[in-house]
Amino acid sequence: KKRNPGEHEFHQAVQEIFESLTPVFEKYPAYIQYNILERMVEPERVISFRVPWTDDNGRVQVNRGFRVQFSSAIGPYKGGLRFHPSVNASIIKFLGFEQIFKNSLTGQPIGGGKGGSDFDPKGKSDNEVMRFTQSFMTELYRHIGPDVDVPAGDIGVGAREIGYMFGQYKRLRNSYEAGVLTGKGIAYGGSLARKEATGFGTVYFVDEMLRDKGKTFKGRTVVVSGSGNVSIYAMQKATELGATVVACSDSNGYIYDENGIDIETVKQLKEVDRKRISEYVNFYPNATYTEGCAGIWSIPCKIALPCATQNEISAEAAQLLVDNGVKAVGEGANMPSTLEAIDIFLKNDVLFAPAKAANAGGVAVSALEMAQNSARVPWTFEEVDAKLHDIMKNIYKQSKEAAAEFGFEDNLVVGANIAGFVKVADAMISQGVV
Ligand code: NDP
């Protein structure tokens, strides 16, 4: 904390890992001898840069860009770019740090990184978004590459932004390096099922966790926060598995539809028209809209899937969910539950799928996109989806086994942290003090 003052989100992410690893250090003193943890919490490289651009009124605007290249122990840095006004060094570092362990859990050869900007895409014209992303890439391009660092999307960065960034990268490099970014459009090197991967993967993971206890999604009431990329495809897969998704949200408020949210309408509103979720009630007058996104956790449900942003489930919200009978929580977003909220879930025997494990499907399919780009061969939707499903089952198995090995039966927070850590730590030891 002394070395990184004020970086609360980063401290929170590190604390969660540290608390899980104590038994690992007792069993394997080599990790202490090689000072692995202290090396791991120091990013290999932090890049912060000015992003000047001109708005539609001809005014010059300035934003701050970041790329944190955290760990290249097991592969090129890999992790998304987030465009949101709340972005700062602490947020990017917490995301980059988590990414190291998540990427390790996927079994793919990818290191950890993250980046973004405090640019707010909301309310900006297409041309403004293009000018901003081109300016952003004009600095970022010199730090990335298919074997160096491979960014992707995150909050506020979808197919449109990736497309503009890819165009600018290609122009600056004068080289068609498809594998430099993932989440690309299908026409120019993207992978089928990448768009669906994080949401589908989260539901595959939760399904695995439920089945292990003789339960399924079928007939359950589900609440999903957010209405972006992760939320939409989590809702779709949960519905396909027979659940009823009764609520979703955006940063302004939430909608409730006891008959089950119509996902095609949400897709049209959010992916195509870029409108607010409140507009849903214009199509389904029996549904209700309530201002304030935090209220969504007061809706009784058996399964909660937080898919919006960090720390969206406070201790109070967790207690409310428990009091209302929640049986399982699956984190689609990164670090959506506070440390206190996780404690409440675990103490009340709620099945809890932590973000690092549950939302790793997105980056796993990004690594499959890189593989297709290298081989110059596109795979079908079914092939990618089947690989994703296998990867999520395997992450569940690894996390469960690691927890059991150290005496933390069913604690997937500890299990995922240990399983993700060991592989990276072993690679670091093999590669010497670098
Ligand atoms: P999107 O930008 O597509 O959607 C984000 C959603 O969350 C929107 O509905 C947004 O509402 C809401 N939201 C964002 N910030 C806040 C906030 N401060 N308070 C309340 N609601 C908020 O992002 P993604 O779906 O891609 O990402 C969602 C989460 O999933 C993030 O935590 C991200 O890091 C994580 N994730 C994403 C992956 C991916 O493949 N995309 C992979 C792994 C994790 P509004 O429109 O009002 O801003």
Per the rule left: phi > 0, alpha: psi between -120 and 50, beta: everything else, 325 is: left
Pocket of ligand 1 (CB under 6 A): 153-156, 198, 226-231, 250-252, 293, 307-309, 332-334, 359, 362
Cα 27 from Cα 34, distance rounded (Å)? 14
Which domains are seen in the chain, by residue range? 43-180 (3.40.50.10860), 195-358 (3.40.50.720)
Mutate to test the pocket of ligand 1, among 99, 102, 250 (most ligand atoms within 8 A of CB): 250
Mutate to test the pocket of ligand 1, among 82, 232, 307, 309 (most ligand atoms within 8 A of CB): 309
Residue 326, pLDDT score? 98
The CA 123 to ligand 1 mean position distance, Å, reads 16
Cα 65 from Cα 359, distance rounded (Å)? 25
Task: Point out the ligand 1 atom lying closest to the alpha carbon of residue 250.
Answer: 11
Token output for 15: 């604390």
* Residue numbers annotated as active site: 114
Residue 392, pLDDT score? 98
Does 153 carry a binding-site annotation? yes
What backbone torsions phi and psi does residue 98 show, to the nearest 5 degrees? -60, -35
Residue 2, pLDDT score? 85
Kindly report the protein residue whose alpha carbon is nearest to atom 29 of ligand 1: 333
The CA 290 to ligand 1 mean position distance, Å, reads 19
Residue 426, pLDDT score? 97
Token output for 177: 């390096």
pTM over 0.80: yes
Cα 166 from Cα 176, distance rounded (Å)? 9
Cβ burial 389-418 (10 Å sphere, 16+ → b, else e): bebbeebbebbbebbeebebebbbbbbbbb
At a CB cut-off of 8 Å and minimum separation 6, what does 130 contact? 164
ipTM, interface predicted TM-score of the complex:
0.98
Does 219 carry a binding-site annotation? no
The CA 226 to ligand 1 mean position distance, Å, reads 6
Identify which of 232, 241, 290 has the alpha carbon closest to the alpha carbon of residue 261. 232
What is the residue-level pLDDT of the chain in tens, covering all 434 positions?
888 999 999 999 999 999 999 999 999 999 999 999 999 999 999 999 999 999 999 999 999 999 999 999 999 999 999 999 999 999 999 999 999 999 999 999 999 999 999 999 999 999 999 999 999 999 999 999 999 999 999 999 999 999 999 999 999 999 999 999 999 999 999 999 999 999 999 999 999 999 999 999 999 999 999 999 999 999 999 999 999 999 999 999 999 999 999 999 999 999 999 999 999 999 999 999 999 999 999 999 999 999 999 999 999 999 999 999 999 999 999 999 999 999 999 999 999 999 999 999 999 999 999 999 999 999 999 999 999 999 999 999 999 999 999 999 999 999 999 999 999 999 999 999 98
